Amino acid sequence: MSEQPPATIEGTEDEPLDGDDPIPTPVSTGAGSVIRALEVAGVETCFGVQGGAIMPVYDALYDSEIRHVTMAHEQGAAHAADAFGIVAGEPGVCLATSGPGATNLVTGIADASMDSDPVVALTGQVPTAFVGNDAFQETDTTGLTAPITKTNYFATDSDSVGDTVGEAFAVSGSGRPGPTVVDLPKDVTNGPTEKEPGEPRTPSTYDPQTEADDEAVERAARTIERAEKPVILAGGGVIKGEASAELRKFATEYGIPVVTTMPALGAFPEDHELAMEMAGMHGTGYANMAITHCDVMLAVGCRFDDRLTGGVETFAPDAQILHVDIDPAEISKNVEADVPLIGDAGTVLEQLAAEMARAPDVPEWREQCQTWKDEYPMDYAAPEDRPLRPEFVVEALDEATPEDAIVTTGVGQHQMWACQYWTYRHPRTWVSSHGLGTMGYGLPAAIGAKVAEPDRQVVCFEGDGSFLMTCQELAVAVRENLDITVAVLNNAAVGMVRQWQDAFFEGRHSASQYPWVPAFDKLAEAFGAQGFAVHEYDEVAETIEAAVAYDGPSVIDFHIDPGANVYPMVPSGGDNGQFALSEDQL
Amino acid sequence: MSEQGPQQVNGLQGPAPEERPRPTGRRNSQGIRIDPEVEAEPEPRRTVISALVENEPGVLAKASGLVSRRQFNIESLTVGTTTNPETSRITLVIEEPEPGIRQVEKQLEKLIPVISVQELSADAIRRELVVLKVHGDEPDKVQAVTEMYDGTVLDAGPRTISIEITGDEGKIDDAIDAFQQFGIRELARTGQTAMARGDVWTTDIEEERYERMHEDWRKHDQQ
Ligand SMILES: Cc1ncc(C[n+]2csc(CCOP(=O)(O)OP(=O)(O)O)c2C)c(N)n1
């Protein structure tokens, strides 16, 4: 990135503007250079909410061709930018004012940080002279966001602020992606400057290693060749590193079963015969058997989160771990790597493939994996005379939408059913809140995803609790006429909490049941979206068809079995191989 | 989808947990594979980490915030500028098991304004300064103890005497013990600063930077 030539300014004498290129925003103030920096970085869309300290930036945006989606709440802006980043593979940009605007962004920034999603947040700040005096709407934004950003910046002068924004953009999107924040005091954005910002570049102190050391590659290849029970554990880094094709090639060429982490849904096609699908707390039985019994684990772009590993003492206890990651700090952080392979996922997979002399000879192991698939099928009982099963709804929506439809979710049981019963076949079709587990992520994420990919269908699964946290963003979906389908899996409870209370708190339902739940179909109508309510099996298919056909945002309130629980389950800190198939096995 | 008994809330099947085979191996709480018979947890070790950082606002807050939020066990953290006005050196004394030490290094290295991080070897030069204020009743004895520790009396009055002692951590601890007899009213320690011993650079990138700086000076002198 740092090697790139300085920006050529379109529309100057040496490079006349052609018809299709956006007209560059003229730079006369710091704010103009902030917006110009975004244009130079190729930003075409941003999400945000206006306010006092950020007004100069919005004023400059007024002249720009960058599309701004005004959100209902700054948390929504951050999640929308995050989902945009996930789907587009380049940083999503969000804007907020100082004080409450910035603090409202915090949840979304923390979410992006936990999931390594590229997000650039620009926050207004009180004028420099007022900073530290508890001025109106002052908050220490760089202090607040330091632990939840890849890095952050406090802009100090109008001439350099554009380059700072460029750097924030470059850092956010490169290496292991993550959120960055630029805090913009009003005097800096209002101050005069004519300085054109250059191309985004990362600072000289930031230079991620992309190629693994030869010696490590050699050792890893020998280990895989000799493996008796090899498994590939694909993490979210496979998707972020655009390495799905390399992964597929490697797995099929050497006949190695592939388990995915939750953020990696779609990194490997789930209908492939080598696919063992998701492992971890609510992973498939067969995935958890495979990772527990493997003797070599090629882990690519994952961070061994506790929801994946369960107790580390019993995690893949016989396995040599070959850990590919672009972030050296992930190596041996939670689980010791026998062979560290620091580098970019796709590059290292290619290095490994080039070094492999033969495939491991493991037909029996593949057969064993298949046996586990037959032994522990992902199945559910759905008798017609009983309340609607959520798994059925997930499968019905999957069936009614194209393969490349994008799924977003809130957090709770509904999110887990969306993991388990939708078949993910392509990278960047799964958009969820994994590491932070932020209820209310689904709808703003659906907005961000749809804005990034207007031609693809977007389905959002929400719970009745989670949906209530951000449902005001329906106003935005209607205003922007975004054709998204929201499926509320309504069990009149914060179901995931209720499930844990049943399993671990003797069924004491403290603050987890809703005696009354809004009519989400009517709520949707009040916002100007299309609303549907479904109670019976025979209404499912036709309602989905109508909702998907509707040109604009629609909400289906699915009244599901309030007793439905998510299984298999590995209790926190548990042994993956001892997953429970029902509550009495916990 | 399958149609099973109406009472079944959950349709999942398969051998129950106790019927499944179990692997023989085990890891410890650090995720390291171990012999299941020997419950070995790695012992913590005290060491010095030196970080060369860009001298920009917020860098110290970022480094110290990182240490606290990741619960690294830290004895001291000091910071000061270097020969290059654009960089500072942060010296951390930590006590962690091996994996923790590696994590401190790598997490610090990840901070964007951090240029280079290194763990110093056991023979590194380490120094700390303490200022002690003791009761002034026995000035001669105070003077004698001060001399024993190569210290300096900074201020002596009828009621208090202030002394400065410099040395490695052990010497400072001993000195404080020795002054205890006079009644220590106040005490301020700087925490350790450290440097690699002999012809070794404290952080590896410095050699390169030093050469570059001298190149610039030579050019400047020639002009
Ligand atoms: C912002 C936030 N607050 C609280 C939680 C804790 N929490 C996790 S899942 C859950 C229940 C979610 O309920 P609902 O949205 O109705 O989904 P369900 O589990 O019923 O599918 C709660 C409260 C959370 N993850 N995020």
Query: Where in chain B are the domains?
Result: 45-119, 125-194
Encode pLDDT of A472-504 as tens digits. Answer: 999 999 999 999 999 999 999 999 999 999 999
Tell me how crowded residue A82 is: count the other CB atoms within 10 A of its CB. Answer: 33
Residues in A touching B30 (Cβ below 8 Å) = 312, 336
Say what the pLDDT of residue B210 is: 80
**CA distance linking residue A583 with residue B9, whole number of Å:** 10
Name residue A458's beta-bridge partners.
A406, A484
Q: Is the dihedral of CA A540, A541, A546, A547 positive or negative?
A: positive
User: What one-character DSSP code corresponds to residue A336?
Assistant: -
What pTM was computed for the model?
Answer: 0.94
Structure tokens given for A290:
């495979």
Say what the pLDDT of residue B5 is: 35
Angle between the N-to-C axes of helices B139-148 and B169-179, in degrees from 0 to 180, rounded to the nearest 10: 160
CATH homologous superfamily, domain B125-194: ACT-like. Chain A, domain 2 (3.30.70.1150)
Name residue A296's beta-bridge partners.
A230, A320
Residues in A touching B111 (Cβ below 8 Å) = 151
**CA distance linking residue A55 with residue A50, whole number of Å:** 7
Q: Which of B4, B7, B8, B9 to mutate to test the interface with A (most CBs of A within 10 A)?
A: B9
Q: Which domains does chain A have, with CATH numbers?
A: 30-190 (3.40.50.970), 214-375 (3.40.50.1220), 390-567 (3.40.50.970)
**CA distance linking residue B53 with residue B60, whole number of Å:** 9
Q: Are A203 and A168 in contact (CB under 8 A)?
A: no
Residues in A touching B110 (Cβ below 8 Å) = 327, 329
Q: List per-block mean pLDDT (blocks of 10 residues) for chain A, which spans 586 residues.
A: 42 47 87 98 98 98 97 98 98 98 98 98 98 96 97 97 98 98 98 96 94 98 98 98 98 98 98 98 98 98 97 97 98 97 98 98 98 96 92 98 98 98 98 98 98 98 98 98 98 97 96 95 98 97 98 98 96 97 94
Q: Beta strand pairing status for A320-325 and A296-300?
A: parallel
- Contact check, Cβ <8 Å, A318/B24: yes
- Contact check, Cβ <8 Å, A335/B11: no
Q: What's the CA-to-centroid distance between A411 and ligand 1, angstroms?
A: 5
Encode pLDDT of B153-195 as tens digits. Answer: 999 999 999 999 999 999 999 999 999 999 999 999 999 999 9
Counts of helices then strands in chain A (DSSP H, E): 22, 18
Q: Let me know the angle formed at the C-alpha of A332 by A330 and A334, rounded to the nearest 5 degrees.
A: 80
CATH homologous superfamily, domain B45-119: ACT domain (3.30.70.260)
Q: What's the CA-to-centroid distance between A158 and ligand 1, angstroms?
A: 43
Instruction: Measure CB to CB from residue B23 to each of A312, A318, A336 and give the nearest one.
Output: A318
Say what the pLDDT of residue A21 is: 67
Q: What's the CA-to-centroid distance between A412 and ligand 1, angstroms?
A: 5
Q: Which residue of B has its CA nearest to A328?
A: B106
Q: Is B3 helix (H, G, I), strand (E, B) or coil?
A: coil
What residue has token string 């603050």? A511
A–B CB contacts, 8 A cutoff, strictly below = 146
**CA distance linking residue A113 with residue A180, whole number of Å:** 9
Ranges under pLDDT 50 in chain B:
1-8
- Contact check, Cβ <8 Å, B106/A315: no
Name residue A47's beta-bridge partners.
A69, A94
**One of A39, A75, A169, A186 is an active-site residue; which one?**
A186
Name residue A485's beta-bridge partners.
A459, A554
- Contact check, Cβ <8 Å, A585/B17: yes
Q: Are A235 and A303 in contact (CB under 8 A)?
A: yes
Q: Which atom of ligand 1 is nearest to the CA of A495?
A: 20
Same fold, B45-119 and B125-194: yes
- Contact check, Cβ <8 Å, B20/A578: yes
ipTM associated with this complex: 0.90
Cα dihedral value A503, A262, A311, A585, nearest 10: 30
Q: Let me know the angle formed at the C-alpha of A193 by A187 and A197, rounded to the nearest 5 degrees.
A: 110
Instruction: Measure CB to CB from residue A205 to each of B16, B25, B113 and give the nearest one.
Output: B113
**Among the listed residues A378, A361, A250, A144, the one whose alpha carbon sits nearest the alpha carbon of residue B12:** A378
**CA distance linking residue A379 with residue A388, whole number of Å:** 15
DSSP states along A5-48: PPPP-TTBTTBPPPTTSPPPPP-SBHHHHHHHHHHHTT--EEEE
> What is the best residue among A496, A498, A499 to mutate for testing ligand 1's pocket, by most ligand atoms within 8 Å of CB?
A496
Q: Which residue of B has its CA nearest to A584?
A: B16
Q: What's the CA-to-centroid distance between A496 and ligand 1, angstroms?
A: 6
Q: Is A162 helix (H, G, I), strand (E, B) or coil?
A: helix
What residue has token string 């619960």? B71
Q: Beta strand pairing status for A92-96 and A119-125?
A: parallel
Name residue A93's beta-bridge partners.
A120
Residues in A touching B31 (Cβ below 8 Å) = 304, 309, 312, 315, 332, 334-336
What residue has token string 């860098």? B59
The helix or strand, by DSSP H or E, that contains position A289, with its residue range, turns out to be helix A285-293
| Strands (DSSP E) found in A401-550 | 406-409, 430-431, 458-463, 484-490, 530-534
Q: Which atom of ligand 1 is nearest to the CA of A469?
A: 1
